[in-house]
Amino acid sequence: MRERRIRVLLAKPGLDGHDVGAKVVVQALLDAGFDVTYTGLRQTPEAIAKAAQAINADVIGLSILSGAHVPLCRRIRDLLLEHGLHDKLWLVGGNIPEADRLVLRQLGYRGVFATGSRTQDIVSFIRESMK
């Protein structure tokens, strides 16, 4: 039997409407052979945690370009832990200044991809982390 494909939930939390990057990443992950569920815009932290649990996601990726990444990621971290999703791979991408990257890593987001990141780097990071 073939191994199950890597399952990714890609979410846009909060009010930020910049979705070009998220949709580009969806395409790149699909091309890499992953299954991708894209939530669309304006998801509440609660809805994201529930969706991750419902689809049994291996990877939970957030995309935030408004600058509100720290408060949103903190809230979502709490909910992911509540839902028992601590062992999943958490990623965040967006307009993230250098100083905030460490903060997000400390919150448990193992991959932080600032705007300008290569999609191939995101794919490789997921593959490496899932080994």
Residues near another protein, by CB under 8 A: 14-20, 23-24, 26-28, 30-31, 33, 35-42, 44, 51, 55, 66-68, 70-72, 75, 95, 97-98, 114-116, 118-120
Q: DSSP string of the chain? A: -PPPPPEEEEE-BTT----HHHHHHHHHHHHTT-EEEE--S-B-HHHHHHHHHHTT-SEEEEEE-SS-HHHHHHHHHHHHHHTT-TTSEEEEEES--HHHHHHHHHHT--EEEETT--HHHHHHHHHHHH-
Cβ atoms of residues 14 and 68 within 8 Å: yes
Task: Specify the residue, 70 or 103, whose C-beta has the smaller distance to another protein.
Answer: 70
Least distance to another protein from the beta carbon of 23, Å? 4
What is the dihedral sign for C-alpha 105, 115, 120, 39? positive
- Residue 115 or 130: which CB sits closer to another protein? 115
CB of 91 to another protein, least distance (A): 17
* Residue 44 CB, nearest approach to another protein (Å): 7
For another protein, the closer CB: 38 or 90: 38
Q: Please, what is the minimum distance in Å from the beta carbon of residue 39 to another protein?
A: 5
